Amino acid sequence: MRISRRIAANVFTALLILAGPYLHAQATNYADKPPLLLGAAWYPEQWPESQWDKDLSLMEAAHITVVRVGEFAWSTMEPSETQYDFGWLDRAVALAAKHHICVVLGTPAAAPPAWLTTKYPETLRWDENGVRDEHGNRQQFSFTDPKYRQFAHAIAEQMAIQFGHNPDVVGWQLDNEYANPSFDPTAKAQFHQWLQKKYVTIAELNRRWATAYWSQTYDNFDEIPVREDGENPALLLEWKRFVSDTWKSYSENQISAIRPHADSRQFITTNTMGWFDGFDEYTVHSVLDIAAWDDYIDSDHYDYISNGATHDLTRGYKQKNFWVMETEPAFVNWRKTNTPLFKGEVRDMAWQAIGHGAETVEYWQWRSAPNGQEEYHGVLVGADGTPVPVYDEIKKTGEEFAKAGAALAGTSPHADVALVNDFPSRWAIDFQRHSAAFEPIGEMLAFYRPLREQSQSVDMISIDAPLDSYKVVELPGLNVISQAIADRLIAYVRNGGHLLLGPRSAMKDKYNALQPERQPGPLADLLGGRVDQFYALDDKIPVTGNDGSGTASIWAEQLSVQSPDTKVLMTYGKSNGWLDDQPAVITRQVGKGSITYVGTWLDDATLDHLTAHLLNEAGVKPILPGIPAGVEVCRRSGQGKSVLILINHNTDAEHISFPSPMRDLIGSQDSAVSAVDLAPYGVAVLMP
């Protein structure tokens, strides 16, 4: 028995150390900066300069090592046209450096000054109804307007000339939270040009869009309307793609201003908004160095699974470690009721970000603004300059980042399973939900939850990402599929991969037109089955299978088996007559691989069983087995190291035992331990 335990312990240690390829990962490209950064958004332009040193001293005491500065300061940087003033910003960066704090500079294009929008009203965005925005808020610019891009390029270039080789400026954030497109005449003209470049002739567009329907046939590209809803599904999808390409070129406009004048070690990014789908994030991130997102809780209480999924989503944009550019310090100001995170959850969230691949966690914001639309938002320091209660929790987190940073340097998360996020498919379903409850993000999270809980590590990737390294790939709602994508998926299965498709998969082609074959379209032959019909559900209906029984809701597809090799895993019970006793889930072995089609939205317990079956078939094991529910396991590995991060998201303490002794890098004990006791919202950072 002792030998067996020793072998198990040695295997566990070896797996920890050897897990995943050894990719370099570091918060910055500057060797003299900490490997993990804790930070805050700081707005020195809003406060008298005499207060800066006091603020920075409090930051340093809290182990804050990075600040983001400047993203809303255009009117201070350029108080009048072509008259630039960077003296105050130069002094702010220098003073931060004296407190061992580095800087990310934000280009201020999200908030143009009044002189610009007054003198050049064409730079303001139009909404879908032709109403022009006014000055006084933010993001009121047109992302296509040439004049606006000229000014955005100029301010970014002047900033880069001033700070591009400042060693205390480690990176650049373009703008702030790209969001709304514009429907102004320039945007419409550019969309028509974009369509003409893609389709070449109006006849080809008419053919692909099937515009004979409702006499939508166009004689020229200028006739095509520009709207976000109520139009031909192909038009709606192409508008989203145009918006994505336009935000990409918007980024390139400022990148072309910064890069020639900047140290190559300075990264360029922008901050995104989680599951926001106004554009394709993979397209926009293709020209950025790293991904970053703003981590805000959009419900009354913190859902760690959902939050972790968004970290994995963001990591997938570049398939490498990322930054959290903003995090709420206990509460926000924009929900109906702005309940706070519980005491301990702020630290819990910070370590979860690190566990999922963040190199930096920054809070928004450092200090309450003296006025403005966000006066009630959470902060670390009040308007009087003294810390608020959450300051101490963030300070503790900073102390722990300093302790564990060296061990985590050069490490990243790695996974055997992947979940595919596809923006065109999400858009296509949203355009025509057919069931109001069929929410694409909700579907993604429904599949993510058991995958994460059972495998303990999930990559969320684009459909264009390489698949060969994954034992299991799940596509919950790949509604839009091209033949090229289908060929890659077929090859993945034939090479031994295990593929799972969710409801509504492979229904549309890349033009958002129905496939000529029944679902799953070009994958039907591989599956040896198809969807005979789909139905929206208003009530739950029963499903049964070898692993037990459960319920289906929202959506149900009547499947049929077309090959003797295809097996039925679950069937519908009595419901609407059409679905009675019909297959709900089918699967087919293809050599060492498999393809499984789930035709309905299963309840959590049933999807748990199905996921367990698939992972077992693929040989996927958890990182650390036997973990209590509500305790999250994260592993980061690389450069010959492996680090476990355990987070207790429960309100009760939990006891965790290890197969072999581990050192807790942030605990009070110096020696290795065989177990840890995690307090509510407790964290342990462990190495073999």
Which residues belong to the active site?
177, 326
**DSSP secondary-structure letter at 259?**
G
Count the neighbouring beta carbons within 10 Å of the beta carbon of residue 123. Answer: 24
Strands (E), 22-126: 37-41, 66-69, 102-106
**Selection from 583, 564, 588, 562 nearest residue 573 by Cα:** 583
**DSSP secondary-structure letter at 73?**
-
Single-letter code of the amino acid located at 128: E
Output the six-digit token pair for 153.
């390029």
Q: Residues 387, 58: contact at Cβ < 8 Å?
A: yes
Residue with tokens 């009070």: 668
Count the neighbouring beta carbons within 10 Å of the beta carbon of residue 386. Answer: 11
Q: Rounded to whole angstroms, how far apart are CA atoms 32 and 34?
A: 7
> Which helix (DSSP H) or strand (DSSP E) does residue 609 occupy?
helix 604-618
Q: Is 281 helix (H, G, I), strand (E, B) or coil?
A: helix
Half-sphere exposure of 219 (CA within 13 A, CB side): 0
Strands (E), 202-329: 267-269, 271-272, 292-295, 322-327
Q: Rounded to whole angstroms, how far apart are CA atoms 250 and 238?
A: 18
Q: Rounded to whole angstroms, how far apart are CA atoms 115 and 652?
A: 56
Output the six-digit token pair for 534.
């789909």
Crossing angle of helices 233-258 and 146-163, rounded to 10°: 30
Strand 541-545 and strand 548-561: the pairing is antiparallel
One DSSP character per residue, 659-682 reads EEEEEETTSS--S-EEEEEEPTT-
**DSSP secondary-structure letter at 602?**
E
Q: Rounded to whole angstroms, how far apart are CA atoms 370 and 674?
A: 51
- Burial class (CB within 10 angstroms; exposed 0-12, middle 13-18, buried 19+) of 487: exposed
**Selection from 141, 423, 441 nearest residue 283 by Cα:** 423
Q: Rounded to whole angstroms, how far apart are CA atoms 447 and 458?
A: 11
Count the neighbouring beta carbons within 10 Å of the beta carbon of residue 214. Answer: 8
Instruction: Give residue 200's region: left, alpha or beta (phi > 0; psi -120 to 50).
Output: left
Single-letter code of the amino acid located at 140: Q
Strands (E), 425-488: 458-461, 472-475
Go through 228-258 and write b for each residue having 16 or more CB atoms within 10 A of its CB, e for each that does not.
eeebbbbbbbbbbbbbbbbbbebbebbbebb
The answer for residues whose C-beta is within 8 angstroms of residue 201's C-beta and 6 or more apart is none
**Selection from 291, 220, 255 nearest residue 25 by Cα:** 291
**Selection from 183, 103, 119 nearest residue 151 by Cα:** 119
Q: Rounded to whole angstroms, how far apart are CA atoms 650 and 534?
A: 40
What φ, ψ does residue 495 adopt, rounded to 5°?
-90, 10
